[in-house]
Amino acid sequence: MADLQAEFEAAVANSKTLSERPDNATLLKIYALYKQASVGDNAEKKPGFGDMVGRAKWDAWNGLKGTAGADAMRQYIDLIASLG
CATH of the domain at 51: 1.20.80.10
Which residues contact residue 75 at a Cβ distance below 8 angstroms, ignoring those fewer than 6 apart? 33, 67
Domain boundaries, position 43: 2-83
Percent over 90 (pLDDT), the chain: 96
What average pLDDT does range 48-52 have in this prediction? 96
Task: Domain count for the chain, please give it.
Answer: 1
48 contact partners, CB below 8 Å, separation of at least 6 = 55
pLDDT at 22 over 90: yes
Secondary structure (3-state) at 16:
coil
Distance CA 72, CA 46 (A): 21
Contact criterion met (CB below 8 Å) for 3 and 73: no
pLDDT in tens, 67-76: 999 999 999 9
When the pLDDT of each residue in the chain is averaged and rounded to a whole number, the result is 96
- Tell me the pTM: 0.94
Selection from 53, 75, 78, 55 nearest residue 64 by Cα: 75
